[in-house]
Structure formats: C-alpha cells, structure tokens
Structure 1
Amino acid sequence: MSSHSHDHDKCIENALGAARDICVARKTRFTPLRQQVLELVWGGHAPVTAYELLDMLSHAGKKRVAPPTIYRALDFLIEEGFVHRLESLNAFVGCPDPAHKHQGHFLICRKCRMVTEVSDNRLMSHISRTAAAHGYICENSMLEIMGLCTNCQS
C-alpha cells in the first residue's frame, strides 16, 4: 500500500478474492454489503471513515444504509483481518496480508493520506521486551507514524 503509481483495480480484485477464500475456509459469511465495504476501503489506499463509506454507498445507488450497519460490516472485516482501524484518524484501511493475524504498523502521509503498512518482527520483539521491562504484558502494539511519503517530500 505504499506507492502512488500502481494498479488499484488489481489490489481491489486481490483483496476481494482473498476475502472470499478466507471466508469460505473459515465458514463465515461475506455478504454483498461486506464485500462492497471492503471494495470501497481498498478503493484508493487512503484511510476512509465510516461516514465516508456511507456517502460512497449512497452515491453508488445503494439504498440508505444506517451507520450501525456500516459499523457491523467494518467490525466483521476487522475481526477477519481484512481491514485495520487507524485509531488516530478514526478511519479504516485494507490489510494486504489478511491470512495472517498480526499487529499493524502504519506510516501515514499527513499530506496525501497515503498509508503504508509495515511489518517488522524485530520491532515487535523490542516493544514486547520494553513493556516487560516495565512490568507490562503487551496486548496491542499498533503503531501509527505520521510523516511525508516520498512523493509529498518533493
């Protein structure tokens, strides 16, 4: 999810295909609304809020969907690992590796809102060791780092 120049349609197709396969394997329901919400989340690789999703669905000709319905769809997508919630932005992004449970670490461009998910086991180990040194057990170590992406630096 890091480049401004790549095939978004392919990303969406891959995300939907992976979600379908995972739902079949886990025997969970990938309803049309859940599929459409996932497709919209993946649409631009920028974080999207629940209310932005509501607006997009209404512009797509869907009947009016209530906020709780969107939140239930998002809760399902998060639980299954298909999307991540960015706490600092109260927004959602697609997960490029939904088959593997993991804590997300995110680089967020403050200018264009592009998001890159990074995974570094050494970082996770360091965070866990640091927490343990202070008597804590690490339960959630999602990191959100704000900065400027390569394109916005120039």
Structure 2
Amino acid sequence: MHINIQTLLIQIKKICEHRHVKLTAQRLEVLRLISQQYHQSISAYDLLNLLRTSSLPHAKPSTIYRALHFLLAQRFIHRIESTNKFMLCKYFLELSHNFVFFICNHCKQVTEQTIKGVEEILHHTAKLRGFVISNNIIESHGLCFNCTNSTHVSITNSSFLSQRK
C-alpha cells in the first residue's frame, strides 16, 4: 500500500483544526518523518537525527518527545512497546479500532492489522479475573511473508546442498 504523504498531512491538519488542537510545525515535521517510514517503525533518537538533518539542526530530545506525546495522544501514531519505536497509525481516521502489530524479526517491517472481536475476548477474560483493562497492545513477532519465503528457500537450498556432499 502506497500513501501520499502530502494528502495524509493535509487530512491530519484538518482533524487537528476540528479537534481544536495545535499541530505545530515541529509536530508536523515529526509526523512527516514518521510517515516516510510507512512499513517500518522508528526510534525517537533516529527521529531526532532525521529532524536535525532535515529542518531543525539544533533540535533536542525534548522536542521529539513532546511531539511524540502529542501525536500519540491524538492517535496519529502508535508506539511499538516491545521495541520502543513509533509508527504511523494506518487507521487514524477511525475513532477507535482494535489492532495487532505483526513485526518481522528479519526485515523489521511492521504491519498494523485491524481485528474484530479481540477487545471483547480480552475484556471478558479480564472481568472473570476481576481485572479492568485500561489499555491493550497486541504485538506478534515472527517472519513476514517475504522473509518466510526467502528464508524457506535459503534453508531448502542449503539443506539440499549439504545432502549432496
């Protein structure tokens, strides 16, 4: 899936105006940088380095963290808990959605996929234990389709070659 970053940023500007929240130039630039990493997640310090080379050479870590805090609060981005990295929310136009992250251990691609019914299962199970869920993040680590196929081919070929010797 290919996105038009300019169109995306225009949509987000309109959403911020509608919500009466301020999308500063720095927040917008951080969002643009995250948007360029469409199928990847990025760390705060990698964002800081990109920000310093692209538009704000004297940016400080607090600049990034304030922008990330705002973008997370507005649900434009997600934090990948297991890697402490950030990525664009593909479904930010929806008021809320349940999702799972599929994170490739090999190529580091991160795919956000909406899922139906998991929230009800989690809340039901929590209720049985007397637990109230305030937040849930589901992350699955493994190999994406491309890496599974290339790994399978590599394993198959190396097994075949070692058997022939």
Normalising to structure 2: TM-score of the pair? Answer: 0.83
Aligned to 2:34: 41
**Distance in 1 separating the partners of 2:8 and 2:61:** 23
**Distance in 1 separating the partners of 2:145 and 2:136:** 25
Percent sequence identity is 34
- State the SS of the aligned residue for 1:35: helix
Aligned match of 2:10 in 14, 17, 21?
17
Indicate whether 1:96 and 2:90 are aligned: yes
For structure 2, list consecutive stretches of 5 or more residues without a partner in the other structure: 150-165
> How far does residue 21 in structure 1 lie from its aligned partner after superposition?
1.2
**Structure 2 residue identity aligned to 1:48:** I
Indicate whether 1:70 and 2:64 are aligned: yes
Native 8 Å contact 1:84 1:104 kept in 2: no
Native 8 Å contact 2:37 2:87 kept in 1: no
- State the SS of the aligned residue for 1:121: coil
Aligned residues: 147
> How far does residue 104 in structure 1 lie from its aligned partner after superposition?
4.0
**Structure 2 residue identity aligned to 1:133:** L
Larger radius of gyration: 2
Indicate whether 1:142 and 2:137 are aligned: yes
Farther off after superposition, 78-87 or 61-70: 61-70
Q: Could you say what the CA RMSD is over the residues aligned between the two structures, in angstroms?
A: 1.5
Q: 1:150 to 1:14 in 2, by over 3 A?
A: farther
**Distance in 1 separating the partners of 2:135 and 2:55:** 38
**Structure 1 residue identity aligned to 2:48:** L
> How far does residue 103 in structure 1 lie from its aligned partner after superposition?
4.9
